[in-house]
Chain A
């Protein structure tokens, strides 16, 4: 079944400085939606407003056209991969996969480097491995949508390609919203692309608009 997640009417300001003012964003099942924007434009804030952990002056977040106020209370609807490590460092991989009801053997098949690490604590992993586990549990868990904030940071080029394949595979039955400064990868896997600039989301119809909006110089 296809679902939609829409966000608009968001007014957010910090210390009187407007951050988000003219937002419209739509995610759908079977699509990867990319969100690009320079530092400080409010990409992470937008994700937190959608997730419900950041209060905005006003907002409208709708799941299948029905308003949702605190999406973080409904993991079956929406999950968030934060840009920082969020898994408690004391936990073992065994415990993490059990908490998220995921099969470790399937994970091992995709990422053989994790063989024999089932009982290892996540704090013993490298930064890239730790990030990979976090991406995997968020993307593979049963949820209609996932918001991914800088998923490619800390990953090696090979791991980035593996994650991109995983996202393409997983989008068959969920909607993904992704933001990352490795914009070429985001552009590569996105079906719909937005640029957030001056508090406003711009739906990109032609890739050259990214340059016009001052986000990146395309070679």
Chain B
């Protein structure tokens, strides 16, 4: 039960920036489809840079909300490592699903 609640809280946190990061992911997938594997490296850098921006903005403008999660036993490290980790895995998964890459 504790784990389910933790996952639910992490999902709740992820939802606060998911639309922005998923939009970037979709744009990258579209560009990859259009221009092929030779733009893979720039696309990876683009994704990394936008995730860095999201990290900066959430930490700057929503830092008060971190106390909500701390009071429920979830540290910033857990929040960021799980959500950014999942976002990167999702990004790689969607890119590799495109025919021609592998």
Interface residues, chain A, with chain B CB atoms under 8 Å away = 53, 72-76, 79-80, 82, 84-88, 90-91, 95, 99-100, 137-138, 141
Contacts and interface: CB of A to CB of B under 8 A. Distances in A.
Interface stretch (B17-25, B42-50, B70-78): B70-78
B71 A79 contact: yes
Contact of A80 (B12, B65, B70, B75): B70
Contacts of B70: 53, 72-73, 75, 80
B73 A82 contact: no
Contacts of B71: 75, 79-80, 86, 100, 137-138, 141
Nearest to A84: B64
B73 A99 contact: no
30 contacts: A53-B70, A72-B70, A72-B75, A73-B70, A73-B73, A74-B73, A75-B70, A75-B71, A75-B72, A75-B73, A80-B67, A80-B71, A82-B64, A84-B64, A85-B64, A86-B64, A86-B65, A86-B67, A87-B65, A87-B68, A88-B12, A88-B62, A88-B65, A95-B12, A99-B5, A99-B8, A99-B9, A99-B72, A100-B72, A141-B71
Interface string B66-92: 011011110100000000000000000
Given A80-B67, A84-B64, A90 B16 contact: yes
Nearest to A89: B65
The 4 A-B residue pairs whose C-beta atoms are closest, nearest first, are A86-B67, A75-B73, A72-B70, A88-B65
Contacts of B64: 82, 84-86
A138 B62 CA distance: 20
A44 to B, nearest CB: 12
B67 A82 contact: yes
Given A99-B5, A99-B9, A86 B75 contact: no
Contacts of B16: 88, 90
A82 to B, nearest CB: 5
Contacts of A137: 71
Contacts of B12: 88, 91, 95
A99 B16 CA distance: 17
Contacts of B68: 86-88
Contacts of B72: 75, 99-100
A88 B62 CA distance: 8
Contacts of A82: 64, 67
